Amino acid sequence: MDRAQVDQQVREVVAEHLGLALDGVDLDARVENLANSLELGMMVIAMERHFGVEFDDSALGRVRILRDVADLVDRALA
């Protein structure tokens, strides 16, 4: 899967999980502005299931924007 596909699928998972329109999901959006901590935790689980990966908790602690999530996915799939 190339990076453009990862970015698109991250946006799709976020949109579906948080009930947002796809065009309203920006990879430069700060994660804390998108949802509360419980919703974010559930979104991480949805990402892991969707991509078949598992994120390291310390790496998740460094996530600030959705693009950081896409970076984690991209590295996990490499």
Nearby residues of 72 by Cβ (< 8 Å), 6 or more positions away: 55, 59, 60, 63
For the structural domain made of 3-77, what CATH number should be given?
A: 1.10.1200.10
pLDDT, tens digit, 9 for 90 and up, residues 9-68: 999 999 999 999 999 999 999 999 998 989 999 999 999 999 999 999 999 999 999 999
Please state the pTM of the whole predicted model. Answer: 0.93
pLDDT, tens digit, 9 for 90 and up, residues 1-22: 999 999 999 999 999 999 999 9
CA atoms in the 13 A half-sphere facing the CB of 9: 18
Select from 37, 23, 7, 24 the least CA-distant residue to 45. 37
* CA gap 19, 48 in Å, rounded: 18
The answer to whether 76 touches 55, Cβ cutoff 8 Å, is yes
